[in-house]
Amino acid sequence: MSKPASRFSALFKALALVVIIGATIVYIANFRPADSGVWFGSHIAPARAAYPFELTDQDGNRFRLADQRGNVILLNFGFTNCPNICPTSLAHLAATCRQLPDSIRQRVRVVFVSVDERDDIAVLKKYIPLFDEKFTGLTGDKETIGNVARAYGAFYRKAESATKDDADYLIDHSTNTTLIDADGNLRLVYSIDQLSKGAEMAGDILQVFGLPRPASSPSGTRP
Amino acid sequence: MRFPVGILPLSAFLLAACGPSPQAEVDTTPLNGREIYATRCVSCHQADGGGIPGHCPPMVGSPILAGSSDDLIQLILLGKKGPIARNGVTYNGVMPAWRYDLNDSQIADVVNELYARWQPHRAAISPEAVQNIRQSLVGRQPFSDSLPK
């Protein structure tokens, strides 16, 4: 007959074994090969599927994220009357795109989702080409826009200074830009301050496509 | 010596919980004119002031830079949206309204940086000059256009 202490020890070992096996299974199930290299943007690891959405672009065509496999998407949220954040972000993104080789540039889509009900197709049609003819502006019904914004962690609300009957209200909104890779996975997030580093962002985009990062596009300051 | 079996489950869970890298710390040091140009202006106006064909006119030879500093300050505060013509060429872009982001001292700094680069004979302006223009624009919407074409 075994002693209680050794029975406890055997039980503990068995329990530890079960936990190790369970944790290993969980880990393997969630494992994706680590991305090589260092990123300039905040890296989302492991990569996970981007929220699928369908909205209307500035030409009145349906835009489905699922149709964009093969392209890298740079997604941000804003409104066309935005005095500062949106024009700055879009100008920086345009500058980043200009740094890409043309073959890659053709596979990068900057997508601007308007969170302002005033921004209909006609408004977007005038606004988007101010930055780049190839950019995409999206609009949709309030509920869909809200769902998409929530799914990507974007925040927005009418500015407190807005009066009830003021058609010139501003909207406070978050400023991050999300990179979705060619397989439809969330990969990187950029703060607005990072957007001014076009060479570093272009390096990330090349790396997302599995291409080497040019020596002139360092991965930035993060280790 | 016994192997510490108990540490293994903990290690496995820690690996499974690996997430995004931490954000870089935000540097809140106020920017000077050169840094503001490098981070706010250069993506359109370019480091050499050459602008972007079709979108942003060049700094070199700009009548706004050569003209009244009040007009230049107003342009920086209110921004500009839509087409402008320079020497027979049309540029269609957006310049943000910087009054929300830059204080009087920073705007004076960036104006003086522009003058140092492209109008070196111009006298420096003061933050008080910016303050006066800013006050005169209270109630004006961003992009409201009253600047020289």
Which residue ranges make up each domain of chain B?
31-136
Query: How many Å apart are CA B143 and CA B75, to the nearest integer?
Result: 9
Would residue A142 count as lying in a domain? yes
Domain B31-136, CATH class in plain words: mainly alpha
Q: Give the 3-state secondary structure of residue B59.
A: coil
Residue A8 inside a domain? The answer is no
Per the domain annotation, does A181 fall within a domain?
yes
CA angle B36, A155, A55 (to 5 degrees): 105
Structure token pair of residue B129: 């000059």
CA–CA gap between residue B91 and residue B82 (Å, rounded): 8
Determine, for residues A83 and B42 on separate chains, whether the beta-carbon distance falls below 8 Å: no
Q: Which residue of B has its CA nearest to A166?
A: B141
Report the range of poorest mean pLDDT among A163-167, A204-208, B100-104: A163-167
Q: Judge whether residue A6 has pLDDT over 90.
A: no
The whole-number pLDDT of residue B31 equals 83
Pairwise CB contact (< 8 Å): A95 & B43: yes
| pLDDT class of B15 with cuts at 50, 70, 90 | very low
The three-point CA angle A142-A179-A43 to 5° equals 125
Report residue A17's pLDDT band, with 50, 70 and 90 as the boundaries.
confident
Kindly state the DSSP code that residue B124 receives in the 8-state scheme.
Answer: P
Higher pLDDT, A137 or A214: A137
pLDDT greater at residue A8 or residue B61: B61
Would residue A69 count as lying in a domain? yes
Nearest to A174 by CA among A155, A190, A196: A155
Q: Work out the percent of chain B whose per-residue pLDDT is above 90.
A: 65
Residue A164 lies in a domain: yes
Residue A59 inside a domain? The answer is yes
Mutate one of B15, B43, B76 to test the A interface: name it (highest A CB count within 10 A): B43
Q: Which of A16, A83, A91 sits opposite B97 (nearest CB)?
A: A83
What is the tens place of the pLDDT at every residue in A113-155? 999 999 999 999 999 999 999 999 999 999 999 999 999 999 9
The pLDDT, as a whole number, for residue A204 is 97
Q: What pLDDT is attached to residue A169?
A: 86
* A55 within domain boundaries: yes
For residue B49, what pLDDT is reported?
95
In total, how many domains does chain A have?
1
Looking at the complex, report in whole angstroms how far the Cα of residue B98 sits from the nearest Cα belonging to chain A.
6
pLDDT in tens, B108-121: 999 999 999 999 99
Per residue in A55-73, pLDDT (tens digit) is 999 999 999 999 999 999 9
Checking ipTM against 0.90, whether it exceeds it is no
**Residue in chain A lying closest to B19 (CA):** A45
Q: What is the CATH number of the domain that holds A88?
A: 3.40.30.10
